[in-house]
Amino acid sequence: MTLRAGSLAALFMKTTDAASSASGEPMSRMGATMWWRVTAGAKSWWDPSVDPVVYDGATPVTPVAIDYAGGRVLLGDVPTGAVTADFDYFAAAEVLGCQGLDLSIKFATEEGAQFKDTAAKPEILSKSWTLSADRNQTWTNAYLETAFAGDDNDIRLTARDSGTPGELISFETLGGVSKTLAVSVENGTDIIVQLGTDGTGAVTSTTNEVITALQTNEAVMYLLEDVSLKTGDDGTGTPDVMAHTHLSGAVNPDWVTRMCNGEKMLVRAYMDDSSGSEILFEGLGHITSVDPSIGWNKLTKEPLNIQGYGKCYYVVL
């Protein structure tokens, strides 16, 4: 079975091979089903080599089923207390986003092929599944998006160097009284914008003017690959004073090589079914047919194919 093209998918990789331990983590019920999922999404990739301990209040209970890739458990009885769990989990980072998806699944049973359950019930799907994507984007460069008060005034800065070195770059805007717009770089990596202000201290520089000042500063553009408006803004608003803030969100370039070499990743795909509902699929898989020697170009310019490992779960959102 192949579902029609859907919304988007995200691929996550471990940031470290060693799992971390968590105890007493709250679990949230999924709809009216008997499935509970760990509330903290960052802790949802569980280590399958360690059995979780699930509690109904203070009483340990044995789950009917465990979805390690989704951080959720199926309970046999309705709990009388708060559901919590002790488990080991892998810290992970989102490293790849995809659009234009097709998910192909071979179902283990006919019952598993039903997608009309409106109770948001996760189902074990199959032992074989693949996902293909026409368009994809990798995130390897650190970036910063401002969140100034007001409208049409936010800026996105993207580091020139890929990987964690870009996180050394910082951005800061200054106010004051009767100031002239100016841009400088201090300590080699600290970008400082003196905003233009009037005699009362009100900012007079528009975001478009600030972006132009940044783009025409050679020292700034030595550090940054791109300075642009945040998506949806037109730049006519005025920015605020902003404290010293570092760029973040970089992905180590070595991870691209690891992806191309078939390292197992957590796959989360959001797709539309024929009734208009959105379905979340989760499972573990790896990228296939990518030459590691040209991995970066292949990942950013070519369609992706992902081969799943074992079971895939879904839930109607």
- Rounded (5°) CA angle 276-277-278: 120
pLDDT tens-place values along the chain, 317 residues long: 333 344 577 888 888 889 999 999 999 998 788 889 999 988 999 999 999 999 999 999 999 989 898 899 989 999 999 999 999 999 987 777 777 777 777 655 433 333 444 444 455 555 678 888 776 666 568 899 999 999 999 999 999 886 678 899 999 999 999 999 999 999 999 999 999 999 999 999 999 999 999 999 999 999 999 999 998 899 999 999 999 999 987 766 677 778 778 888 888 887 766 666 667 788 888 888 766 665 554 565 667 788 888 777 776 65
Entry field: residues in the chain: 317
- Cα-to-chain-centroid distance, residue 99: 14
Q: Is the pTM of this model over 0.85?
A: no
User: CA nearest 146: which of 212, 241, 219?
Assistant: 241
For residue 65, the one-letter residue type is A
The Cα 128–Cα 125 span in angstroms is 9
Write the DSSP symbol of residue 12: E
Q: Hey, is 35 helix, strand or coil?
A: strand
The Cα 145–Cα 158 span in angstroms is 9
For residue 226, the one-letter residue type is D
- 141 in Cβ contact with 159 (< 8 Å): yes
Q: Which residues of 153-187 are buried (b: 16+ CB within 10 A; e: fewer)?
A: bbbbbbbebbbeebbbbbbebebeeebebebebee
